[in-house]
């Protein structure tokens, strides 16, 4: 079985956790297992928290925004690693993760907005439009996460991760990657491809969350499912923001 491109959600996560939870409840009792609606509700709450902290960060001074960006990125990364190993902590850690990621997202958004006014609202709109479009395509069966589809998205996402890591390491030694940060046709084309791969990861997330609900994963996995979707949505938003900035810089 191919793993999800999203490291937070893979083919073994829900099946392993399902073994820890009973699959039956008494009539009239609240469900103790994961549901799709429950995951949707927790994703919405997580996004609300993220938007609130991002909005607060947006209004801070440029000097403070820089520090908040670093703080959000570092703490968010640490929490993401902890969550992958301690899924039972998800009900507590996911809201915290959403809050600190809001610091990072708000800081990045404010920086781009100062350079290209109006770019943030456009990017937010495109992100949610992509989310709903792919959700509709998934629910209608237009896009089916077959094993070949999963393999392709997994390989592409891993390749992007390796490329970003290489760019970061070489950057420490003063070597630039114009194709990654420039606004040439090739650079814009690369951004379009990366946005497409990030978007298709949403289909993978939908599939694994649905599988978790079908397999009777424990209730706290709703928060973990929300975490997985949040990771992908943040990545997608940032990539769209970068793509839009490249296009705006050519005007």
pLDDT block averages, 10 residues each, the chain of length 251: 52 52 46 88 96 94 90 94 94 96 96 94 96 92 88 93 89 81 88 95 91 90 94 96 92 73
How many angstroms separate the CA atoms of 7 and 133, rounded? 23
Report yes or no on whether pTM surpasses 0.85: yes
Burial class (CB in 10 A: 0-12, 13-18, 19+), 73: middle
Which residue, among 236, 231, 199, has the nearest Cα to 76 in the 3D structure? 231
> Which pLDDT score is estimated for 138?
92
Q: How high is the pLDDT of residue 31? A: 66
How far does the chain reach from its first CA to its final CA, in angstroms? 46
* Two tokens, residue 79: 């929490």
**Cα–chain-centroid distance for residue 83?**
14
Separation CA 39–CA 222 (nearest Å): 4
Rounded-to-integer distance, Cα 151 and Cα 177, Å:
27
pLDDT of residue 8: 59
Supply φ then ψ for residue 242, to 5 degrees.
Answer: -65, -40
Q: Cα 62 from chain centroid?
A: 26
184 secondary structure, DSSP code: S
Instruction: Specify the pLDDT at position 167.
Output: 87
Using an 8 Å Cβ cutoff, are 44 and 114 in contact?
no
Strand partners, 218: 33
pLDDT of residue 146: 87
């Amino acid at each position: 079985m191919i793993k999800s491109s999203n490291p937070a959600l893979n083919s073994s996560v829900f099946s392993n956790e399902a073994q820890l939870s009973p699959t039956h409840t008494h009539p009239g009792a609240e469900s103790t297992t994961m549901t799709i609606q429950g995951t949707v509700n927790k994703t919405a709450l997580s996004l609300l928290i993220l938007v609130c902290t991002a909005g607060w960060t947006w209004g801070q001074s440029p000097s403070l925004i820089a520090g908040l960006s670093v703080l959000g990125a570092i703490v968010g990364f640490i929490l993401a690693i902890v969550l992958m190993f301690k899924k039972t902590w998800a009900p507590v850690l996911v809201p915290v993760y959403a809050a600190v990621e809001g610091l990072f997202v708000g800081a990045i958004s404010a920086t781009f907005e100062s350079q290209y006014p109006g770019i943030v609202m456009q990017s937010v709109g495109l992100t949610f439009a992509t989310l709903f479009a792919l959700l509709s395509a998934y629910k209608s069966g237009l896009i089916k996460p077959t094993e070949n589809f999963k393999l392709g998205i997994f390989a592409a996402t891993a390749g992007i991760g390796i490329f970003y890591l290489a760019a970061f390491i070489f950057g420490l030694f003063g070597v630039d990657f114009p194709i990654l940060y420039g606004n040439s046709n090739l650079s814009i084309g690369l951004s379009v491809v990366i946005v497409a791969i990030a978007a298709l990861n949403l289909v993978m997330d939908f599939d694994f969350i649905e599988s978790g609900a079908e397999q009777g994963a424990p209730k706290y996995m709703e928060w973990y499912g929300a975490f997985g979707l949040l990771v992908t949505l943040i990545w997608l938003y940032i990539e769209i923001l970068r793509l839009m900035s490249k296009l705006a810089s050519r005007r």
